[in-house]
Amino acid sequence: MKNFKVCGFVLIALFLQNLSFAQNSPKPDLLTFEQFEAKLAAAGKNAQILDARLPEEFTQNHLEGAVNFNIISKEELEKQSARLDKNKPVFIYSIGSGRSSILAKDLKNNGFKDVTVVPGGLSKWIGLGKPVISTVGKGLSKEDYLASLKSDKLVLVDFGSRYCPGCKKLDPTIDSLKNEQAGSLKVIKIEAYENKDLVKQLGVVGLPTLILYRNNEVVWEKKGGVSKAEIEKVIAGQTL
């Protein structure tokens, strides 16, 4: 019994030690978008802007002055971070904040003094109409988009990206609804980063974003993850 008690005390001590380490681990700065813009402007030429997405994504659209920083191993992290100045501010973005937050934590743990994740990621940056270096066209005009909404059915528009984990997770749900409710629902999928002007005009600042129209009027909008049951409930409420 005594041995069990000692073992229990050891386990509790290890748990408290790990909890303390987690609480004291360096975290990236979390700012509002306005605070971020001010900080980026203040950093000027000292700003080190990192794009944590895939090279293909970077080529399509990226912030001016950014470098692609797609990390696939600890060795790659060490190699690429050696090119940076640990004493100068670092700004990191991805589609949202998933990959950028992971990279930010790794850099903080490796001695970088000032690391900031772009609030809302590239989705919000583009949705707010901020400039990007781009190799893709403007995409659909708003007029063409509005024309595509004309239907005697409800129209569900899915703004997403093939690179967005949350969007890919939602895809089976949208495809299922499209098949199951074909008689009363029209589904339109929009690749957000190939339609930057449209995203800006509609104020889509996060992916995925779903917009439900009835007679060309928005009746429901949802940013981020959503269950099939929730979408079905909204659709049912519009078809009564």
Which residues belong to the active site?
164, 167
DSSP 11: H
Q: Is the bond preceding 208 in cis, omega lying within 30 degrees of 0?
A: yes
Distances (CA, A) of 91 to 20, 28, 49: 27, 10, 5
Token output for 135: 């190799």
Contact 211, 221 (CB under 8 A): yes
Token output for 110: 């490796």
Report how far residue 188's alpha carbon sits from residue 217's, in angstroms, rounded to the nearest whole number.
Answer: 15
Token output for 66: 């950014």
Token output for 48: 């080190």
Report how far residue 159's alpha carbon sits from residue 221's, in angstroms, rounded to the nearest whole number.
Answer: 11
